[in-house]
Amino acid sequence: MEPEFVEGDRATRFKLLAFVGVATVLILVDLLTSPDAALHATDPLQALKKSADRLLIFALTAFPLCVGASIYVLRLGIKVKSSGQYPPPGLRPAVRTRVRRGRRAKWNALLMFGLAGILMVAGPALICTWYSISRLATELSHPNKKMQPAPRNGRS
């Protein structure tokens, strides 16, 4: 039996390249705005605060990208699982792709579900990391100030 192929689509290829371009620009901007080594040597606390600010910008920009990519991959995994073939019928891949059926399609669907889960966790993990670092920078800037516990039952 001769292998079956689905031809690539130019519009899908452009969308994929645009997504990769946005991710690359995001990483480059993050690298170009990093605090320099002189700031780390002279004022490490200020460097930590700048790094926390950069991480916030990166997290708020990467969060929608991660959520969108995870939704896309999850929907693709559901389509592959229900149709029993990869790529599912009606999907226009970016490049010429061989149609896989059976066990290989099932493994592709499972990998897509795993990737969707990882992408869903990545966005909130970045925001939690920013929160932890910004809180650390705040605590380090006020070393003698003790954190007061929250009052219980409305009492002071």
What does the pLDDT read at residue 19? 87
* Residue 18, in any domain of the structure: yes
Strand partners, 5: 98
* Residue 125, in any domain of the structure: yes
Q: Mean pLDDT throughout 29-33?
A: 81
Q: Mean pLDDT throughout 11-33?
A: 88
* Cα gap 72→33, rounded to integer Å: 31
* Residue 155, in any domain of the structure: no
* Residue 151, in any domain of the structure: no
Note the pTM of the prediction, 2 decimals.
Answer: 0.76
* Residue 149, in any domain of the structure: no
* Residue 19, in any domain of the structure: yes
pLDDT of residue 137 exceeding 80, the answer is yes
What does the pLDDT read at residue 115? 96
* Residue 99, in any domain of the structure: yes
* Residue 130, in any domain of the structure: yes
Share of the chain above pLDDT 90, in %: 48
Domain count within the chain: 1
Listed in sequence order, the DSSP H helices in the chain are: 10-32, 37-42, 44-83, 103-141
pLDDT of residue 45 exceeding 60, the answer is yes
* Cα gap 55→40, rounded to integer Å: 16
* Cα gap 107→40, rounded to integer Å: 47
Residue 76 burial class via C-beta count within 10 angstroms: exposed 0-12, middle 13-18, buried 19 and up = buried
Domain that holds residue 79: 13-140
pLDDT band at 101 (very low <50, low <70, confident <90, very high): very high
What does the pLDDT read at residue 153? 73
